[in-house]
Chains A and B, each alone.
Chain A
Amino acid sequence: MEILQYALRKFITGIPLILGVTFISFLLMVYFGPDKTYELAGKNATPEQIAEIRHQLGYDRPFLVRYGEYLRELVTLDFGYSDSTGERVSHILERTIPISLALILPGFVLGNLLGIALALVAAHHRGRWLDKLIMGGSVVGMSISFLIVIIAFQIIFCSNYGLGWFPVRGWNVYDFWDYLRYVTVPTLATVFVALGYNTRFYRAVLVEELGRDHVRTARAFGAPPAEVLFKHVLKNAMIPIITRIMFSIPFVVVSGALLIESYFGIPGVGLVTYDAITTGDQPVLKAVVGLTAVLFVLVLILNDIFYKLVDPRVSLQ
């Protein structure tokens, strides 16, 4: 009960955040974003036509009026129609977000789990060659451009120049085996790239924990390494780890993985968002940004509740 009250209180304090995000984003979109007018104007537009199009797009109305409308749309979850394709924005999101989720989740989960595992190994052997090896691998992972990894994996695993085990493009997913076929290579690419960053970060956290007094005490009492690692170190290290994971979620969910979708031909929300940003499709952008903000606030609340559950010294005051 107390948690619910706390959550509610937090949500209300989260409203300024949503307002802040939407206001600043909208400001950016309107004054600094691409102008859809010229794309819709065609090859030989006249100044009158341009004025007409601006009126159609609603660009000539005062900023605050348009912002008020944006807030109303956010509350009713009705963002109108895309300025590019004319499809209802809610239809577009319903169609694409589940696909992006299904695409990214495995990579996200695996990337973090493997990162923690590798970091545990590295932290345990801190300072010795295994540690340096893992760190070297992480740096390689961090330095390689994601694009090169995608291209290389596509050639190696999917194309006929390589193994050809998986399809190159597409997302014809009608059962679980189709899903595995289409999601494997993108997952491999994502994990490969994320692993470097994840391992590096988690190792630092674990190393810090390993140095704590209670760990030294446990070792002195003869606790086996596994028990030391899992019971004493990992639990405390969970706070920064979970924080990091939780805060990557909103972007993973709503913004999608643009490069993967583009190269593997997967109709997810990443492509849609990127096109919206570069062509100035405001209805779609408003939806994506607004929903991301809302998700963000939810994550913040969950994160704070989590702190409370895990660390009894942290109070809900």
Chain B
Amino acid sequence: MPARLLILALALLLSACARGPDTDGLKIYRHSLGGAPSSLDPVQSATVYANHVVVNVYDTLYAYKYLKRPYELKPNLAAAMPEVSDDGLTYTIPIKKGVYFIDDPAFPGGKGREVTAADFVYSMKRHFDPKMRSQGAWLWAGRIEGLDAWKKAGAHYDQEVPGLRALDRYTIQIRLTRPYPQLIHTLAQGFSAIVPHEAVDYYGREFSVHPVGSGPFKLETFDSVRAVLVRNPKYRREPIDLAYEGYDPARHARYGIAGIEGKIPPLVDRLEIHFIKESLSRWNSFTKGDEIQYATIPKELLNEVLLQKQPKIVLRKRYADKYFMLAGLENGFVHTDFNMKDPAIGYNSDPERQKRNHALRCAIRYAFDWAERNRTFYNDMGFVFPGIIPPVVPEYDPDAPRDALEHNPDKGRRLLAENGWTADNLPTLTFGGVASVDSRQMFEQFRGWLLKIGYPREKVQFDSYASFGDYNRAVKQAKVMIIGMGWGLDYPDAQNTLQLFYGPNASPGSNASNFNDPEYNRLYEISSVMQPSPERTRLYRKMNRIVLDACVTISGLSRRNIYLWHKNVISYPDQSIVGGFHLKYVDVK
């Protein structure tokens, strides 16, 4: 190996004969993301970044319409929306015929074969095979008849799973253990992408960097700074129907999107997705002109780039001349939770102390100043809302009372005094956070507020963790007392955020606060099997109220992102939910 290294190094330095890929005349689009995926195996596609690549090299049964907002599902590899039985337990899904995997040495003769319903069954089974190290199994755990039993019996792929069958070559049938209204949403995620078993067997562990799919693109190279995808010549030809995709002239005409009507995706020959963590480096590359063509504005430069922020966002002329802009709220939110498992501020075997803890948490919440936090860290553009139902989901209540967001140090002080809290008996508060300038500053800001309700300075401390992995581990082991977290929506349904406070989801699950309220749990279980309806929305909002009254979280703020792209690019971008699905519709003039 050392000899090979040396030769490679010399070759790189002295080569005048090696030529790059011939990109003359090709249409190239260079996208950028704020982070990198580690694995491209759908079974591990847990991050937004991985999803962007996965949904472009693989097919999922369903996807989201390109332009429709609020988001709406549409068939992708499926031929139609599913046929659901009356009891809501059986889903029958037809898939399109004549869809082929790309050519790859994994297939006999190197030619990719047709995609069948059995491939979907195989892909889903992989989530329950321990050897595959799935990160998405939680979406379907305990929901599909026989799947968990299949796993317990040793995960043999030749064994049938009663709830997951290919009725024939092109028909899938899923049988659930109880109604799961969000099932179709899960079938639009990268996790559910369809993979051929030949490739998994052939490449083994390296399958995660050597994808073989049936999506609009195929992967050419992948490293820690970018992924290069090229058009898949075998991709099914489906002309764009803009009306179907949700085109609305009032919102979309100014970006020139009408021009892609009738064209056949993918519209570019070569798609480069650059992974750039440093916002300033990303911005420099974006403004260069011949590098990336899409970026978000770095926080530090917002005042330099924007002319005004309220009531409408407007770019300064020299930027408005060169770039299109789209501003939108993220599909997620940030919030700060209290760890209820910690008897100092949460559940306590002494009912008197538990009551006082409740008052303490509410007092701390009064100290929190959302307006100032928004101004300092989110450029005054974040959207603050009470509770855990963010503004982007249909069940959001714009008229919900905002008392939980109130910044009132006097009320905080009074609460503490009324409940027997003094500077001597107040518990030491420990904030957890990743080791970074922002976390530290957020902590120092919060500490400053706590001083105003009478908290002694030495009793407010910061526990910094070297990396997000360490922090995450501590949170999942319920070791962090006050947890600053963000949540990205997996699908546009409030159930995805309400499950964050469902008792059985406590650590190591996603319920980082370890909240466990019997009434909340009851309402959650009832609403989780209901289809969207006004009654369900009422229940959701009631649950939101329970969380707010318990003062278990200080929530929440949805960040506003501003996307810019070069004017020769025809696109309507989206970071998540539609996310990577939009890339096949991007055209370059």
Contact = CB atoms under 8 A, between A and B. Distances in A.
B432 to A, nearest CB: 14
A301 B134 CA distance: 47
A175 B18 contact: yes
A265 B33 CA distance: 13
Contacts of B276: 169, 265
A307 B41 CA distance: 53
B88 to A, nearest CB: 22
Interface residues of A, number: 70
A173 to B, nearest CB: 7
A275 B224 contact: yes
B476 to A, nearest CB: 5
A253 to B, nearest CB: 10
Interface string B355-373: 0000000000000000000
A169 B274 contact: yes
B508 A86 contact: no
Contacts of A267: 223-226
A84 interface: yes
A94 B5 contact: yes
Interface in A263-289: 263-267, 271-272, 275, 278-280
A317 interface: no
Interface string B278-316: 101100110111111000000000000000000000000
B224 A271 contact: yes
Contacts of B209: 85-87
A102 interface: yes
Contacts of B521: none
A263 B278 contact: yes
Interface string A71-110: 0000001000100111110110111111101100000000
Given A167-B288, A266-B225, A39 B472 contact: yes
A18 to B, nearest CB: 15
B4 A94 contact: yes
Determine chain A's interface SS by DSSP, over half rule.
helix
A221 interface: no
Interface in A36-83: 36-47, 49-50, 52-53, 55-56, 77, 81
Interface in A192-221: none
B13 A179 contact: yes
A3 B500 CA distance: 68
A175 B138 CA distance: 49
Interface in A228-266: 261-266
A86 B9 CA distance: 24
B510 interface: yes
Interface in B164-206: 205-206
B16 A175 contact: yes
Contact of A35 (B8, B205, B206, B469): B469
Given A95-B223, A172-B20, A176-B16, A40 B44 contact: yes
A154 interface: yes
A280 to B, nearest CB: 6
Given A44-B509, A175-B15, A56 B39 contact: no
Contacts of A88: 205-206
Given A262-B278, A265-B281, A49 B470 contact: no
A299 to B, nearest CB: 14
A161 interface: yes
A217 to B, nearest CB: 45
A86 B510 contact: no
Contact of B469 (A34, A81, A98): A34
Interface in B1-23: 1, 4-5, 8-9, 12-16, 18-20
A121 interface: no
B467 interface: yes
Nearest to B2: A77
A151 interface: yes
A56 B131 contact: yes
B476 A34 contact: no
A88 B134 CA distance: 19
A168 B16 contact: no
B20 A174 contact: yes
Contacts of B281: 154, 168-169, 262-265
Nearest to B505: A44
A271 B275 CA distance: 12
B570 interface: no
B207 interface: yes
B544 interface: no
Contact of A94 (B1, B277, B505, B510): B1
A265 B1 contact: no
Given A98-B9, A159-B284, A160-B289, A86 B224 contact: no
Contacts of A175: 15-16, 18-19
A52 B130 contact: yes
A94 B223 CA distance: 12
B137 interface: yes
Interface of B: 1, 4-5, 8-9, 12-16, 18-20, 38-39, 41, 44, 46, 130-131, 133-138, 141, 205-209, 223-226, 274, 276-278, 280-281, 284-285, 287-292, 466-470, 472-473, 476, 499, 505, 508-510
Interface of A: 34-47, 49-50, 52-53, 55-56, 77, 81, 84-88, 90-91, 93-99, 101-102, 151, 154-155, 158-161, 164, 167-176, 179, 261-267, 271-272, 275, 278-280
Given A43-B46, A87-B206, A175-B19, 18 more contacts: A34-B473, A38-B476, A38-B508, A39-B469, A41-B476, A44-B141, A56-B131, A86-B207, A87-B209, A94-B1, A94-B4, A94-B8, A102-B12, A160-B287, A168-B281, A169-B274, A169-B285, A175-B18
